[in-house]
Amino acid sequence: MNYNISITKVEKSRVDHLDFNNIPLGTTFTDHMFICDYENGKWINPRIVPMGMIPTHPAAMALHYGQAIFEGMKAYKDTEGEPMLFRPEQNASRLNKSADRMGMPNFPEDLFVEGLKELVSLEHNWIPPQQGSALYLRPFMYADEPFIGMRAATHYKFIIMASPAGPFFSKRIKLWAEKQFIRAASGGTGEAKAAGNYAAAIRPTELAKSKGYDQVLWLDAAEHKYIQEVGTMNIFFKINGEFITPELDGSVLHGITRASVIDMLSAMNYSVTERKITIDEIKEASTNGTLEEAFGTGTAVGIAYIQDIGLEGETIHVSDESPVGLEVNDTLNAIKTGQLEDKFGWMLKTRKELV
């Protein structure tokens, strides 16, 4: 479908004020944002406008009942300086899966990709050229109908913001295996990238940090035994030469990095198994020396190596030999920046000044 995205440009870009070698985390936004409104059962008025405040009624339903979902992705520059997006259609379809679960309307997937392309093209000067840096993109949808009462809202906004992000220095992280709090239960909203899931994780994460850990390792809700995932990352283990990642059982976010890493490991002839895996199995593998590596995967960090896991006062150590994940991370970054052939067909090129 052909959409007419109207564009109102800023008079003067703020990009000159940004020090690309020193980008503050999550506080800098580009000049423009993409917005679309949902009214009377239709998405209307797709537009790119200067980044700014949005008037919000205090009764806006997202603020009270939490109909709010989001996506996270990055734009990179290829070797010619042209902007590229990594598997944006995957984010578009995942947003709609989240929307389905939260009783929100679907957003047209071609308009999702079109809006991203237009915004990224317009903001191409904001894509940091430094290795490891990228333009973080945050598409999200929330209920902005003013109404007190429990039902699906009838008015929503879909917005895409962009924020330059510096390189992530990957030190090995420490995880806290959480036996008290849970992130997701069978039949719950764990599979949706829904705002409320992250609100519920804040307190447990703060407690884990106060104990000296970086992130929470979530276990299943019923038995506190099966590993689910980490903060905003899926998790992989290498035991005895084989990669294992928790299966997508409805409580685990369908990570696009996860899916890509599975494809890459398979292409490298490693065996990758998606199955239930218990924290005790990891402890056992660490003790008998077969736990060869463990890492988290997600858009924000790529691949984050795990150093050890705290479990009820004990520490499970992860070996740092044979880091296949590092090789996968380098390959993935090289594909994203056009330095390596895109064999999997993951990259979507967009042009500078598409608009």
Ligand X SMILES: *Cc1c(COP(=O)(O)O)cnc(C)c1O
Q: How far apart are CA 156 and CA 142, in angstroms?
A: 5
Nearer to ligand X, 163 or 299 (CB): 299
**x/- contact string, 152-191, with ligand X (CB under 6 A)?**
----------------------------------------
Share in percent of the chain as helix, strand, coil (round to 5): 25, 30, 45
Q: Does 257 contact ligand X by CB under 6 A? A: yes
Q: Are 22 and 138 in contact (CB under 8 A)?
A: no
The least CB distance from residue 44 to ligand X, in Å, is: 28
Q: How far apart are CA 329 and CA 347, in angstroms?
A: 16
Nearer to ligand X, 153 or 233 (CB): 233
Nearer to ligand X, 286 or 299 (CB): 299
Both tokens of residue 353?
A: 């000044």
Q: Which residues in 264-303 contact ligand X (CB under 6 A)?
A: 297-299
Residues in contact with ligand X, total (CB under 6 A)? Answer: 14
The least CB distance from residue 279 to ligand X, in Å, is: 18
**The one segment of 59-67, 133-141, 159-167, 253-261 that binds ligand X by CB under 6 A:** 253-261
In this structure, what DSSP letter does residue 146 have?
B
Q: How far apart are CA 98 and CA 254, in angstroms?
A: 11
**The one segment of 117-125, 202-210, 252-260, 341-349 that binds ligand X by CB under 6 A:** 252-260
The least CB distance from residue 97 to ligand X, in Å, is: 12
Q: Does 253 contact ligand X by CB under 6 A? A: yes
Q: Are 168 and 303 in contact (CB under 8 A)?
A: no
Q: How far apart are CA 63 and CA 56, in angstroms?
A: 10
Q: Are 219 and 180 in contact (CB under 8 A)?
A: no
**Beta bridge pairs of residue 136:** 74, 163
Q: Does 233 contact ligand X by CB under 6 A? A: yes
Q: Does 87 contact ligand X by CB under 6 A? A: no
The least CB distance from residue 234 to ligand X, in Å, is: 5
Q: Are 141 and 156 in contact (CB under 8 A)?
A: yes
List of residues contacting ligand X (CB under 6 A): 72, 193, 229, 232-234, 253, 255-258, 297-299
